[in-house]
A and B are shown apart, each in its own frame.
Chain A
């Protein structure tokens, strides 16, 4: 490599940081926050939710339930047991009682309510909290999408702050996921309902088929079926004793070899 090129590369790295220039075959290690759910950590995710990246949990279809918000709230409940978290409720569907039933430590939860369909404001508020040191942020987007021009710059700023602070950021998005969100996402988990889970005729959960449709930190294409077991209200012992997201009971979680080996 010529000396002048080496000097130019060194200058760029000094000015814009070590991640400004990477070799084509360089594999940057990704730090992850393990969810503690074997199916997610082992099969779908690269050891957990990547820190410093935006993770999108998207619905596969605009019609019917997808389980993305329940999955987001389950992850938030898990995170609240060890750290402070923020939940930006743009969907307007958060029930803190349900969050408590999922086993969340409510004293560690900060609920941000920017108002319905105020995506730009919600992302800016989330960015403020992450910038202040919040290690875990969840955003629940509602079904009505404002024009991307109104909020895409706020999303880019949020992604930049998440990257700088090494925070975990999970965004639950409706179907189809908006283009700016799909672009910013480092890992997209697409959820499709696979049927209700019933016990003695009563609905006790939702079976969800989850697939990794985009992954910048590992091979995409992995699929698994999750059972989101609904907690019974006022049954604290049961909620505490049972994980809200359990290993697949309906279909075995097996990554598709051909897709798993595909380059990221």
Chain B
């Protein structure tokens, strides 16, 4: 496995600077509230230069940097930024984890477009910088999450630090003990033994470490070799793929809008085809001059895995949108992305795949037309005298979901 870690500015700080762009080069301290006993969440380089550090009480930070501006964390703007980052990085990597100040991507295997690891990592770094509208992040690539993060910490903004497979021990050896996420008591005892770097600890046998530290010894032994056993904790956030086409000078001709929608559909369809994914929901947006955008959304009757599959859905959306003023841009968004091929069937269960496919179609009908559109009746356990009390309605469920 190969994991990429990119360190960037705190998303809450980026959101605050977007709201107050005049503070971009000023010392800004981000906190959850104006309450001065709460800790600092993040700070701009200008504030860091005054000795402000995340985790300090805001009052202390104010004393260190009296001229700093204090910004409150905006959770909604931060979440939007995180979603945008997720959507941008999912185009480049199959598994993405976006934290507040760091991003992890699974870069195992080979990318279809970016053939080698440096090119792939560069593309991801550029995507991070473009999403945040900031400078390039510091990037580390290694065989484990811990080593990738340490490599990124020892890299510089705009540089990629790669630790090749088998070179983890050499990379970790000169690093101080504080680099590892260890219990401070364990770290203090190791330091008391005169072990001041990871290489010195790595020379100890696991038996010796376990004898001294018990179960923590085995953990130390694995960590000093860069074996954290954790991959990328991919978020379950919904992916959105979008394609936007800007129209010169505003257009009211329906034929041109049709062609623009067709162009967006083909671009997204090619991406779906290349990724082996299918979209379950589509949204078409007309950006118009001097007014709010017009939009229409629809749940797909069946997941669309290509441009041909998505086009009837987009055509339906086109018919629903009636622009009354010139359209300046057309945007198509596909969401509810899922693997196009379906799931592994239960070989010993008769009709498993078809029954699941039918249940999946029924679930989509409910999403499109409401909960009463497709239901299964079940005889009531305690029927009353009225005919309508003899049965209850149930939502159709997928067999895989029912089995847990």
Chain A, 120-153, CB within 8 A of any chain B CB: 121, 124-125, 128-129, 131-135
Report yes or no: A110 in contact with B374, Cβ–Cβ below 8 A.
Answer: yes
- Complex CA gap A23/B390 in Å reads 54
Residues of chain B within 8 A (CB-CB) of A35 are none
Residues of chain B within 8 A (CB-CB) of A114 are 369, 373
User: Which of B351, B369, B377 gathers most chain A CB within 10 Å?
Assistant: B377
Chain A nearest Cβ from B236, distance in angstroms: 25
Residues of chain B within 8 A (CB-CB) of A128 are 301-302, 361, 364-365
Report yes or no: A111 in contact with B374, Cβ–Cβ below 8 A.
Answer: yes
Report yes or no: A110 in contact with B369, Cβ–Cβ below 8 A.
Answer: no
Stretch from A8-16, A65-73, A95-103, A217-225 at the B interface: A95-103
Question: Is A106 an interface residue when CB atoms closer than 8 A count as contact?
Answer: yes
Residues of chain A within 8 A (CB-CB) of B126 are none
Residues of chain B within 8 A (CB-CB) of A133 are 353-354, 357-358
Residues of chain A within 8 A (CB-CB) of B361 are 128-129, 131-132, 134
Question: Is A109 an interface residue when CB atoms closer than 8 A count as contact?
Answer: yes
Report yes or no: B374 in contact with A112, Cβ–Cβ below 8 A.
Answer: yes
Interface size class of A (residues with CB under 8 A): 20 to 34
Question: Is A107 an interface residue when CB atoms closer than 8 A count as contact?
Answer: yes
Chain A nearest Cβ from B281, distance in angstroms: 15
Question: Is A41 an interface residue when CB atoms closer than 8 A count as contact?
Answer: no
User: Which of A132, A134, A135 gathers most chain B CB within 10 Å?
Assistant: A132
Q: Is the interface of B mostly helix, strand, loop or mixed?
A: mixed
Residues of chain A within 8 A (CB-CB) of B354 are 84, 132-135
- Complex CA gap A83/B361 in Å reads 17
Report yes or no: A84 in contact with B351, Cβ–Cβ below 8 A.
Answer: yes
Binary flags per residue of B358-393, CB closer than 8 Å to A gives 1, else 0: 101110110001001111111100000001001101
Question: Is B157 an interface residue when CB atoms closer than 8 A count as contact?
Answer: no
Question: Is B355 an interface residue when CB atoms closer than 8 A count as contact?
Answer: yes
Question: Is A113 an interface residue when CB atoms closer than 8 A count as contact?
Answer: yes
Residues of chain B within 8 A (CB-CB) of A135 are 354
- Complex CA gap A64/B280 in Å reads 45
Residue of B nearest to A165 (CB): B354
Report yes or no: B365 in contact with A109, Cβ–Cβ below 8 A.
Answer: no
Residue of B nearest to A97 (CB): B390
Residues of chain A within 8 A (CB-CB) of B365 are 112, 125, 128-129
Report yes or no: B302 in contact with A121, Cβ–Cβ below 8 A.
Answer: no
Residue of A nearest to B387 (CB): A97
Chain B nearest Cβ from A69, distance in angstroms: 16
Residues of chain B within 8 A (CB-CB) of A131 are 302, 361
- Complex CA gap A128/B300 in Å reads 10
Residue of A nearest to B355 (CB): A84
User: Which of B351, B357, B374, B396 gathers most chain A CB within 10 Å?
Assistant: B374
Contact pick for A106, options B302, B355, B379, B387, CB 8 Å: B379
- Complex CA gap A223/B302 in Å reads 41
Report yes or no: A106 in contact with B358, Cβ–Cβ below 8 A.
Answer: no
Given A100-B391, A106-B379, A131-B302, verify A113-B357 contact (CB < 8 Å): no
The 4 closest A-B pairs by CB, nearest first: A96-B377, A132-B361, A97-B390, A133-B354
A-B contact list, 13 entries, CB within 8 Å = A97-B391, A99-B377, A100-B377, A110-B376, A111-B374, A113-B375, A125-B374, A129-B361, A132-B354, A132-B360, A132-B361, A133-B353, A233-B387
List residues of chain B with CB under 8 Å of any chain A CB.
Answer: 301-302, 351, 353-355, 357-358, 360-362, 364-365, 369, 372-379, 387, 390-391, 393, 396
List residues of chain A with CB under 8 Å of any chain B CB.
Answer: 83-84, 86, 95-100, 106-107, 109-114, 121, 124-125, 128-129, 131-135, 233
